[in-house]
């Protein structure tokens, strides 16, 4: 399907993904008006979401159109693998791929979203005859997708120019969601999960000028408001990311982590700061 929007178009694609064990997967691409080629900004959505969530709710498209940036919205997991336990809970399995490459035998054939996003999806984009410049890529995301954006960026720094996140799962080896995911998807469990933990990865990076990260999260406000319940539940742990950044010697010019009071975990929060995130990436993608 294809729809005109903000002078450009958004189009849904479907293909068989080798890195997902031969399953079909879908993604959306927004292409602004003009000749291009346009730099590419990937958006990774959170738990229970799919390739439509960010495109429909994020309010990213008008700013991307104005900046001349293409947006790519992949799914959040493989679908239809028919693995026992895949559909039993909302925070694991379908819709909860955690943007890693599973190493536990049960999951390793299909749950390889890290390889799909970083390798196979860019190659698929090259086959579409779209005016995209894949030498200029950045990445952002929300919640589980914020975790994905930060970890993919930190593990593939030569591929992405910048990363940003809304309320990311910042320290998943210490959070219930992350512990559940790593204990099941990874043969080495939570210890292996440190290689997919933004806090752990940031601690390993030397403080240099090549890092460009923006994070917005919701802390607890005084007086108490409708704050992010998942922050309160210890799922996000953004303070750990702040500490890791400080210990590594980064300044706000390289790693800018901002607490926003009174919002919740929803797309109302995301849409409030969407324009700032798109313009942050535009600065790096168009440099």
Q: Which active-site residues does the annotation give?
A: 143, 228, 265
Provide CB contacts within 8 A for 211, sequence distance 6+. 157, 205, 250, 254, 255
Provide CB contacts within 8 A for 81, sequence distance 6+. 21, 23, 109, 110, 111
Helix, strand and coil percent figures for the chain, each rounded to 5 = 35, 25, 40
Question: Three-state DSSP class for 30?
Answer: strand
- Residues 206-223, buried b or exposed e (16+ Cβ, 10 A)? ebeeebbbbbbbbbeeee
43 and 145 Cβ atoms separated by less than 8 Å: yes
Q: Using DSSP, how many helices (H) and how many strands (E) does the chain show?
A: 11, 9
85 and 162 Cβ atoms separated by less than 8 Å: no
Sheet hosting strand 23-31, strand order edge to edge? 2-5, 8-17, 23-31, 70-74, 38-44, 132-142, 163-166, 213-219, 255-261
Question: Three-state DSSP class for 3?
Answer: strand
């Amino acid at each position: 399907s294809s729809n005109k929007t903000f002078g450009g178009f958004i189009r849904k694609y479907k293909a068989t993904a080798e890195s997902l064990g031969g399953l079909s997967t879908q993604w959306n691409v927004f292409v602004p008006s003009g000749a291009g080629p346009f730099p590419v900004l990937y958006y990774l959505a959170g738990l229970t979401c799919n390739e439509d969530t960010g495109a429909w709710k994020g309010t990213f498209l008008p700013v991307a159109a104005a900046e001349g940036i293409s947006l790519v919205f992949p799914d959040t997991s493989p679908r239809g693998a028919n693995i026992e336990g895949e559909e039993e809970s909302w925070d694991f399995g379908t819709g909860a791929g955690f943007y890693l490459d599973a190493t536990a035998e049960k999951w390793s054939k299909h749950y390889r979203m890290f390889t799909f996003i970083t390798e196979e999806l860019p190659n698929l984009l090259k086959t579409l005859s779209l005016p995209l410049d894949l030498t200029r890529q950045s990445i952002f995301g929300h919640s589980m997708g914020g975790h994905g954006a930060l970890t993919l960026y930190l593990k593939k720094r030569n591929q992405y120019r910048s990363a940003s996140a809304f309320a990311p799962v910042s320290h998943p080896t210490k959070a219930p969601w992350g512990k559940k995911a790593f204990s099941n998807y990874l043969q080495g469990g939570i210890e292996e999960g440190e290689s997919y933990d933004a806090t752990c990865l940031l601690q390993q990076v030397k403080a240099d000028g090549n890092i460009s990260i923006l994070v917005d999260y919701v802390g607890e406000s005084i007086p108490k408001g409708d704050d992010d319940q998942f922050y309160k539940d210890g799922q996000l742990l953004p303070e750990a990311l702040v500490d890791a950044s400080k210990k590594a010697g980064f300044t706000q010019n390289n790693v800018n982590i901002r607490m926003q009071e009174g919002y919740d975990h929803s797309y109302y929060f995301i849409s409030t700061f969407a324009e700032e995130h798109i313009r942050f990436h535009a600065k790096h993608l168009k440099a």
